[in-house]
Amino acid sequence: MKIQLSLIVLINLFMFSTYASADIVLDGTLGRRSGPLQGPYFAIGAELGEQHGGNLFHSFGQFGLQQGESATFSGPNTVNNIISRVTGGTSSHINGLLRSTIPNADFYFLNPAGVMFGKHAQLDVQGAFYLSTADYLRLDDGGQFSAAQPEKSLLTVAPPAAFGFLEPNFAPITLQDSELRVLDNQTFSLVAGDISLTKVALVVLSPLKLSS
């Protein structure tokens, strides 16, 4: 399924249940720290990841938000892309506020185990939003940021090019009772094995891309 729209979208489809984690834990492969972060207002600065040119990479063992919690990504204005992966093998349940304060930075989030956005999920990013259950993100010069095989990653300054899958069975993305918005003229993209939308309001005044 590949869909591109440019309007306000209200979609009702079916629900897909998935186990989800509601903690934020650094996996120690990037940045200066490892282990759980202090909530409920999680501050995720550039020092917790690794910057290569305009790419700011983050790596988590678990990533989830409960109602009333928030995760705020920050960094220098030289960042063009915030790129996060989840490596721990549990799906991410986002039921709080996912935010970026870096002007015009696109936001990429990969979890091969699956992602669910719940009723209280909110999105506040300053650029495009790309959500995927891909195993890795390929960079334009052949570099790679892998969530399934972190040790095979090659981080470079090149911009993201495409999502990649290693296995034929891809985990789902589920949006349930969610209302999500992106800024005007910014892309909202979902790439997964199945995309399940239940009572969802997507307020997107720019390209909407769903691919499964």
Secondary-structure percent of the chain, ordered helix, strand, coil, rounded to 5? 5, 50, 45
d(CA 62, CA 26): 7
Is residue 2 assigned to a domain? no
Is residue 9 situated within a structural domain? Answer: no
**Where do we find the tokens 């249940």?**
17
Classify residue 129: in a domain, yes or no: yes
In a domain, 16, yes or no: no
Q: What percent of the chain has pLDDT over 70?
A: 85
Structure confidence by residue, pLDDT tens digits, 55-78: 999 999 999 999 999 999 999 999
Domain residues for the domain of 133 are: 22-208
Q: Cα(first)–Cα(last) distance of the chain, in Å?
A: 5
Question: DSSP state, 154?
Answer: B
Query: Residue 8 has what pLDDT?
Result: 32
Element (H, E) at 205: strand 200-211
| One-letter identity of residue 74 | S
pLDDT tens for residues 96-148?
999 999 999 999 999 999 999 999 999 999 999 999 999 999 999 999 999 99
Question: Each residue of 164-198: pLDDT tens digit?
Answer: 998 778 899 999 888 888 877 789 899 998 898 88
**Number of domains composing the chain:** 1
Domain with residue 51: its CATH number is 2.160.20.10
Q: Are 129 and 138 in contact (CB under 8 A)?
A: no
Q: Which residues pair with 26 in a beta bridge?
A: 35, 60
Phi and psi torsions of 47, nearest 5°: -65, -15
Evaluate whether residue 138 is within a structural domain. yes
1-10, 80-89, 106-115: least confidently modelled range:
1-10
pLDDT at 7 over 60: no
Look up the pTM and report it.
0.87
| The token pair that represents 107 in the structure block | 């936001």
Burial zone of 5 (CB within 10 Å; 0-12 exposed, 13-18 middle, 19+ buried): middle
Is the model's pLDDT at 14 over the cut of 50?
no
Euclidean distance between CA atoms 145 and 81, whole angstroms: 13
Q: What is the pLDDT of residue 19?
A: 42
